[in-house]
A and B are shown apart, each in its own frame.
Chain A
């Protein structure tokens, strides 16, 4: 206590240790995952599971989910459950489509953020000002947003060259960056098919070549959020609204204002996620483009234990399964079955050692099923590869939900003046 820095005495002092321990663990997990994937690749010959193309596609699939999850993080850290992320994301795709067509990609990003913010402000108005149940308001916002987007799309895009009632004209893409010199070398190495080396090269290639500037912006926002919410007094106050708004109120925090800001920002990020979908992941606005990614973002955030690095990890996991199914899906997802089977068996053994017999039995049962499935078939039908991200979400939540801790006052109704 006595040697802690003057600015934020307690918060940072108590946080330093677990953060370092956690960041070690993350690198360990990434390493284990890479070795597992590489082994599987060599064993099964499913080369696309670690190709640079797949990894790049995984990132492109992960960032919108991560941005939606970031929106969820802001909102839920301030105590407001936000299932309306899907709707705010839809508004974002529309904003991106309209503003990019007329004013270019960066204004498009701003427009998407603005449209998303409108959705967020609406959610804040309903939940914070009027005290409506959070899920109810979120569902209503999703319905409104889907309706507004398809109605306005027809009004805004019909008659434009290449546009129509359900889609915008083809739009410019945001600029990309490549670190010079690394591209050719790493992609050569990735093509060699060497154990671990080629996989690592593919990863480096995916991270350094033709990376969209929007991706950088998103990563900046995610890590910036980590700093803002956990290292500033603004963040401490915002999070206190999610943990105990009544205590925050007695300390003089204007809880309504913080919640309003947080939920509106939540819409901003979800809207940006929509912009990423419309501009980077595809080349224009389309009706129904989000396809439930707002919900997956929410799940990724829960999986990530309401933390920025966690939600990024979760998004990458979902993005990866999404990309694996898109690129030679049958073969890649089939190979992933092997990993899932082995991993579940490992979990089963671990649970058995902990004495949780039921969990061990369930894990072993599902694991054996996955392995049986793997060895009795050569590929997986398209319909099953399509469910991969969703099944992954459920599996992961079922296995991990016990270790998660959500903000204590998340989803509760708060009225001013009830403290005490």
Chain B
């Protein structure tokens, strides 16, 4: 296979999926009597600078969430609990930062560490249960999500103060805030200063996964557990470590907003990021660049959907349908493309064998190939 064909095959799946998802969304719109034309006109119009900033901000947060999920996915570990880990970590971070044990930037750095530790600890519960008691991490992380909601609500009531309709923690000292980046001039909002965390985490993810022994063990365990065990990987330890790592990355999700905009933890914290992160990771094939693409697409769709109700009279909820359909289509399309590629490879091997003539053990490999 030449390189052109290979890249075409890599790109085929996501493009195919987005086209199919677009078609299905249009059909859904038609069946309830909305106009697909108006929908696409709104979605595909070029966003204003203000919206562009929102897209970047949302994408950076989604990216961190996607990375957190991807760490687990890479070794067939399903951390559905990013949502809860992010909540617990953000709350712990807000609480810690407001105490101002350290001055200025040091406080910021220390808080980020605290957030990672808190996220890792929350994920660690599921990891320990899995390793010592064999409890499926899928179930335990889902339960931990629900428990996190109640626990944080309780602690917030104990530690926070009432501000209007909501309860909030104490505000972080101003010296520790991270100012926004004025990337686009004429916009009211600014890009999160800590959006840089997404970039750092992405690079670190890529390096750890591709350039370290830990990353190799992790990928090996994901691709073939029995082979990994045979080559001396301690699978239980890998489960524990990668779950902790996943939780630590999840702890970062809330940081850009905490230090950039809200400066405290309130009951209005954004929900659903954890689940969206799972979708984004699947969309991006758990690859650092792929996840970035997925995060941008999701953020773009969500932002562009906001004016749907006003401009086109369509409920913005349709975008959730489209996002879900994109994910399902993408995983199916990857599977279809993978099978197609396998067949191509088999055929080229068979041709090569045929060309080399019947002199060797030609009979049996061809049989294997066609099986």
Contacts and interface: CB of A to CB of B under 8 A. Distances in A.
Interface string A120-151: 00100010001111011101111111111011
B325 A144 contact: yes
Nearest to B126: A394
Contacts, number: 131
A295 B324 contact: no
A292 B331 contact: no
A295 B139 contact: yes
B134 A143 contact: no
A302 B136 contact: yes
Interface stretch (B49-57, B108-116, B175-183, B275-283): B275-283
A135 B76 CA distance: 10
A69 B194 CA distance: 43
A213 interface: no
A140 B142 contact: no
A245 B313 CA distance: 50
Given A383-B150, A383-B154, A140 B32 contact: no
A126 B331 contact: yes
A195 B315 CA distance: 57
Interface in A361-408: 381, 383-384, 386-387, 390-391, 393-394, 397-399, 401-402
Contacts of B32: 151-152, 155
Contacts of B151: 383, 387
A113 interface: no
Interface in B37-75: none
B335 interface: yes
Contacts of A295: 139, 142-143
B240 to A, nearest CB: 16
B79 to A, nearest CB: 11
The majority secondary structure among interface residues of chain B is helix
Nearest to A295: B142
- Residue from B143, B157, B279 whose CB has the most chain A CB atoms within 10 Å: B143
Contact of A401 (B28, B133, B317, B325): B133
B143 to A, nearest CB: 4
A129 B354 CA distance: 32
Interface of B: 28, 32-34, 78, 80, 129, 133-136, 138-140, 142-144, 146-147, 150-151, 153-154, 157, 275, 278-279, 282, 315, 317-325, 327-328, 331-332, 335-336, 371
19 contacts: A130-B336, A132-B331, A136-B282, A141-B328, A144-B328, A147-B323, A148-B321, A151-B317, A154-B315, A299-B143, A383-B153, A390-B144, A390-B147, A394-B144, A397-B136, A398-B129, A398-B133, A398-B135, A401-B134
Interface of A: 83, 122, 126, 130-133, 135-137, 139-148, 150-152, 154-155, 165, 292, 295, 298-299, 302, 381, 383-384, 386-387, 390-391, 393-394, 397-399, 401-402, 417
Q: Which 8 A-B pairs have the closest CB atoms?
A: A147-B320, A144-B324, A383-B154, A143-B324, A147-B321, A140-B328, A151-B317, A155-B32
